[in-house]
Structures are given as C-alpha cells and as structure tokens.
C-alpha cells in the first residue's frame, strides 16, 4: 500500500515536481507530531546524484534543515553513497534490502560521528534505506540513531 489521503499529492508535489515551499510545511507537520529526540546532531540520507539533478532538490536534506531550525540542532552531512542504487519503487522488501546493503558510509576525514544522531529521510517505505544508513552511522561511532521521516507507508 502506498501513501493515502492528502499525503499522496503532497509527497508527489514535493519530491517529483520540485515544489520546494512544501519542505518547511513538512518540517512543521513533523515538529507538531514528533517530539524532538535527544540527540547531538541531525543528518540525512545522502542524495542520489542522478535524481537530485533531475529534481533540482533533495527533500531529505531540506526536511532535515527545517527540523534543525525547529529543534535547534546542528544539521550536518555525515554519510555518502558508496555506489549508485537502483530505484526502489516496485521492489519487494528483501529486494530493497539487497539493493541498499552497503550503499552508505561515513564521509572519510570528517569529525567523528556523535553518539546520538537523528537520521532524516523524506519517506519510509520498508525501512531498507534508513536501516542501511543507520548501520553505517553505527559503524562510524553512533550509539543511538533515531530515524525521522515525513511519511511512512502502512501495510
């Protein structure tokens, strides 16, 4: 099952049509619904270069920056992609996990990863992407990784 109700056109406009003014609205909605987790820093799923160029925007980063302003936390990129990942749309849960396994790493040569990190993505479908990214953050030193997204697919 996908996103239903008003979330569906909102997400489509924000992600696929590049309606950037929706990002602060998404951050406000998340802020109203989710108490700020105890954390040292906010980071986000790194952009896929091809999709970011096509969209002209990176929704996860914009959501993270909006939440950083609201929750008064630093937002910093901690992860990079190790390879291009094929589209997840239409893939079953296990295929999605295989598709993103090992696809992220902590950016080399940066400051150490803080102990408590908020990881932001725009949408959560099966959790494969955030799981792979959280694994990389824990390998880089994070003890706690809190995942925050704008929307989640319910089954």
From first to last of its 155 residues, the chain has per-residue pLDDT tens of 455 666 666 666 656 656 667 788 889 989 999 999 999 999 999 988 665 545 567 889 999 999 999 999 999 999 999 887 766 666 666 777 777 788 899 999 888 899 999 999 988 888 888 999 999 999 999 999 999 998 777 66
Instruction: Please give the Cα distance from 15 to 63 (Å, whole number).
Output: 11
Phi, psi of 148 (to 5 degrees): -130, 130
The predicted pLDDT at position 155 comes to 62
Q: Tell me the C-alpha distance between 88 and 31, whole Å.
A: 27
- Cα–Cα distances in Å, from 143 out to 98, 115, 136? 24, 5, 11
Domains of the chain: 7-152 (3.40.50)
Give whole-number Cα distances, 97 to 23, 31, 50, 77, 110, in Å: 27, 29, 20, 22, 27
Contact 148, 120 (CB under 8 A): yes
First to last CA, the chain: 6
């Amino acid at each position: 099952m996908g996103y239903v109700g008003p979330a569906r056109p909102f997400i489509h406009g924000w992600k696929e049509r590049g309606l950037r003014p929706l990002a602060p609205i998404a951050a406000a909605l998340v802020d109203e619904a989710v108490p700020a987790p105890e954390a040292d820093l906010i980071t986000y799923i790194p952009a896929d270069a091809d999709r970011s160029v096509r969209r002209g925007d990176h929704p996860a980063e914009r959501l993270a920056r909006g939440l950083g302003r609201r929750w008064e936390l630093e937002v910093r990129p901690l992860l990079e992609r190790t390879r291009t990942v094929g589209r997840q749309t239409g893939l079953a849960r296990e295929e999605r996990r295989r598709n993103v396994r090992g696809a992220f790493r902590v950016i080399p040569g940066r400051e150490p990863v803080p102990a408590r990190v908020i990881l932001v993505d725009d949408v959560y479908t099966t959790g494969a992407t955030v799981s792979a990214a959280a694994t990389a953050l824990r390998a880089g030193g994070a003890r706690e990784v809190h995942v925050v997204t704008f929307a989640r697919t319910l089954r």
